[in-house]
Amino acid sequence: MMNIVLLSNEYPPHIYGGAGVHVDYLSHELAKLNGANHHLQILCFGDQKEIAENIVVVGIPDGQHVPFQESRHKKLLDTLYRNVVMAGSVKQADIIHCHTWYTHLAGCLLKQILGIPLVLTIHSLEPHRPWKEEQLGSGYKASTWLEKTALINADGIIAVSQSMKEDLLQLYDISAERIQVIYNGIDSSQFKPSFKPEILLSYGIDPDRPYVLFVGRITRQKGILHLINALPYIEGDVQVVLCAGAPDTEAIAKEMKEKVEWVRTKRDNHIIWISELVPREQLIVLYSHAAVFVCPSVYEPFGIINLEAMACNTPVVASAVGGIPDVVVHNETGLVVDFEPVSSDNSEPKHPEQFSRDLAAAINQILRSPERIEAMGMACRKRVEKHFDWKSIAEETLEYYRQLVQEKPRESRARHIQS
């Protein structure tokens, strides 16, 4: 039996990105392994309270009275407050597993306090996300420092793709032996083709006409503005469905609105913008009915969203960045579009207009052939089932925990903490 503590910003029902989806599925698969003999404690941001046989979830509420001198620093300082609360909430454990910089301070503190191994799953890297400065101001320098400090102190590091491992080795003074590549996964029993035309109609989508689908946050990382710029070049009577909400800043929300309004004047095809959160069951239906799913990210360490679409038999057009080529096989499960960054931080394509045109050309190429859509969709499902099952990913993760615990025995004083 192993006592595992997972630290995460996101956890149901407060999920807005791939890291939260990862922690959700990983935690439940870990709890089921080996006859459910392992105990998991999950500390996250929010108001969650859940107690099951071998899993406890505790949400840490925000620090309402944390002072700040600049408005954009509020998020950083609130994060640090919650990290301190997390560090004081763990009585004992065999291993600490952190997800994203939002929990790295707590992880580093608990490693020292309890004398146990610290594992980090790296879902993204701060130096490759310079647009975060729009949100955090100079606090972005602090988040980058927290990430670097945690990586130096971690006993083990999980990279979600081979590309992420390479980025870690380039950016930080870390030995390759400390990094284990373990992919993100998908629950293929849940994400599978589901056809309910009435769901489409409820969102204003015509089920008798093909549509291109985007799902993601309104952030520069996800490249949604490049997709919108591509829309005037998409051929035929094709609908465009944008499931896009949770903008990083008011500025990008305004830019998004203006671009959508501009494109509506340039093309006759119907653009449906769904800004509210789509429930998972309905999102699966949207994936399943889509002719093509598009992931135009400028930075994507893995791209779990592509797995969700592929599991629903939907081919993908995606930018060739980060871990996406590990997931989307060019000319087999979709098309991968070249992306030439303007600089090493991957913040923008060197030729944004050409990138948008290339996205549209790839979308058009697939849409022209219903037979190709069907063949690629079948290949998508097969690839997901063969390579990205959550059970096997949880087993790999647990084995990695065991290796680290064996390499670094806990201090005896931390092994027997008294009540």
Structural tokens at position 47: 């108001």
Measured CA to CA, the distance from residue 310 to residue 325 in angstroms comes to: 13
Q: Which residues pair with 8 in a beta bridge?
A: 44, 99
Nearest CA among 373, 347, 335, 364 for reference residue 232: 364
Is residue 123 a contact partner of residue 22, using CB atoms and an 8 Å limit? Answer: yes
Please tell me the pTM assigned to this model: 0.77
Domains of the chain, first to last? 3-185+389-415 (3.40.50.2000), 197-387 (3.40.50.2000)
Task: Output the CA–CA distances (angstroms, integers) from residue 200 to 56, 117, 193, 296, 407, in the order listed.
Answer: 37, 48, 14, 23, 53
- pLDDT of the chain, 419 residues: tens digit per residue: 899 999 999 999 999 888 998 999 999 999 988 765 789 999 999 999 999 888 999 999 998 889 988 888 999 999 999 999 999 999 999 999 999 999 999 999 999 999 999 999 999 888 888 878 888 899 999 999 999 999 999 999 999 988 899 999 999 989 999 999 999 899 999 999 999 999 999 999 999 999 999 999 999 889 999 999 999 999 988 999 999 998 888 999 999 999 999 998 887 768 999 999 899 999 999 999 999 999 999 988 888 899 999 999 999 999 999 889 999 999 999 999 998 877 665 667 888 999 999 999 999 999 999 999 999 999 999 999 998 989 889 999 999 999 999 987 654 434 444 33
What's CA 345's distance to the chain center, in Å?
A: 18
pLDDT at 73: 92
Helical residues (DSSP H) of 204-264, grouped into ranges: 224-230, 250-264
Task: Output the CA–CA distances (angstroms, integers) from residue 288 to 27, 96, 196, 203, in the order listed.
Answer: 26, 37, 9, 15
Task: Output the CA–CA distances (angstroms, integers) from residue 162 to 58, 166, 184, 302, 327, in the order listed.
Answer: 32, 6, 12, 9, 11
What's CA 188's distance to the chain center, in Å?
A: 17
Measured CA to CA, the distance from residue 89 to residue 196 in angstroms comes to: 45
pLDDT at 63: 87
